């Protein structure tokens, strides 16, 4: 027999049956229970499925206006959906007075929608004229907690980033494509001839611009002016918004790698004054949402295999640039499905729930 629900605000999860939605339901079972009614919503083809939420069997509702019936002020609806779905349905929710937390790209550039990583700019949640709060792209989220802590201490003036993105960021289609490609190349000579991998995979590149198995693909998104990809420009714009540095020089290169879960980034951050690596490590050790793993002599540094399935960003390889005493270089990894999406959305939703609980006292 399950325990009765708490009397807190209602939470609706749209996209509950997707890869990120599955992780979010796990996270709800691991965190303090601040929610009353929890309802799960997905496309019509998933309606009727029964999923466990905090050990309670919950039927998935089809995404229609009826799915939001009874929601109002104080309630939260999390969208884990493509941008077009969020853009269509978020206004339906906010018209009822509930707050939307959207994890898609639909509202990330909207000046009336705060873009939030709670470890960095939780205060921004409170000012939401459209009733919507956005979470950033999973690459931006992976580095934000570490970068935000260093910025608060040193004052960031310039940023260069290369991302090494997991296949899982493209959803189940990405993970399945990588596994399929790996099985295709497993029986080949694996590199005896330069074209082995491409011939084995053929046209089956899935959501990627080129074969990902035994390969890296320096591309993510659509082509933009100057040869930049839309994903690279999005990470640049989102980082500026989250840190409230609208003129920050930012250079981003997005690379997809044959890893199922866990984004990694090399970061070169330049600050207002000279930096000290030992002090920077202390800052990262104390930073919320960051785990420091930095002892290369002992073979200790972060990898996506370490970060997968965990909540924090893992930071290491912290060192001062050889050519600039004001520049710090480091490596960071994070689970793209957890901190990159589901956990960040959950944290934002809990901030909003706490807001309404405070005013209800």
Catalytic residues, by residue number, are 138, 263
Cα–Cα distances in Å, from 37 out to 27, 52, 68, 94, 343?
16, 14, 12, 18, 19
Cα–Cα distances in Å, from 282 out to 106, 177, 187, 189?
37, 40, 48, 47
How far apart CA 4 and CA 279 sit, in angstroms, is: 48
Q: Residue 137's closest CA among 340, 309, 315, 333?
A: 340
Residues 14, 77: contact at Cβ < 8 Å? yes
How far apart CA 214 and CA 185 sit, in angstroms, is: 8
Taking the alpha carbons of 284, 288, 290, 292 in that order, is the dihedral positive or negative?
A: positive
How far apart CA 98 and CA 141 sit, in angstroms, is: 25
Structure tokens, 317: 């390889």
């Amino acid at each position: 027999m399950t325990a009765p629900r708490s009397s807190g605000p209602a939470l609706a999860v749209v996209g509950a049956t997707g890869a990120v939605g599955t992780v979010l339901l796990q996270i709800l079972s691991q965190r303090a229970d601040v929610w009353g009614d929890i309802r799960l919503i997905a496309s019509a083809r998933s309606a009727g499925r029964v999923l466990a939420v905090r050990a309670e069997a919950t039927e998935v509702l089809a995404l229609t206006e009826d799915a939001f019936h009874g929601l109002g002020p104080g309630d939260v609806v999390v969208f884990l959906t493509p941008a077009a779905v969020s853009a269509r349905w978020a206004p339906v929710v906010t018209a009822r007075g509930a707050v939307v937390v959207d994890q898609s790209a639909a509202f990330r550039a909207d000046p009336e929608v705060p873009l939030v990583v709670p470890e960095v700019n939780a205060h921004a949640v409170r000012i939401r004229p459209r009733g919507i709060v956005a979470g950033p792209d999973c690459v931006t989220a992976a580095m934000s907690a570490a970068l935000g802590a260093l910025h608060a201490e040193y004052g960031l003036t310039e940023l260069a980033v290369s991302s090494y993105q997991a296949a899982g960021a493209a959803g189940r289609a990405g993970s399945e494509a990588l596994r399929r490609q790996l099985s295709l190349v497993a029986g080949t000579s694996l590199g005896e001839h330069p074209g082995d991998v491409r011939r084995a995979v053929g046209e089956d590149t899935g959501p990627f611009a080129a074969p990902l198995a035994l390969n890296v693909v320096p591309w993510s998104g659509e082509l933009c002016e100057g040869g930049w990809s839309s994903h690279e420009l999005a990470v640049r714009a989102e980082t500026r918004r989250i840190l409230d540095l609208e003129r920050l020089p930012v250079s981003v290169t997005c690379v997809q790698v044959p890893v199922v879960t866990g984004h990694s980034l090399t970061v070169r951050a330049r600050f207002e004054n000279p930096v000290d690596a030992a002090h920077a490590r202390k800052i990262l050790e104390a930073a919320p949402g960051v785990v420091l793993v930095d002892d290369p002599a002992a073979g200790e540094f972060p990898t996506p295999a370490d970060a997968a399935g965990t909540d924090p960003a893992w930071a290491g390889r912290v060192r001062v640039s050889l050519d600039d005493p004001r520049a710090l270089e480091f490596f960071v990894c994070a689970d793209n499905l957890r901190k990159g999406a589901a956990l960040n959305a959950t944290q934002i939703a809990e901030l909003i729930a706490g807001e309404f609980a405070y005013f209800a006292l």
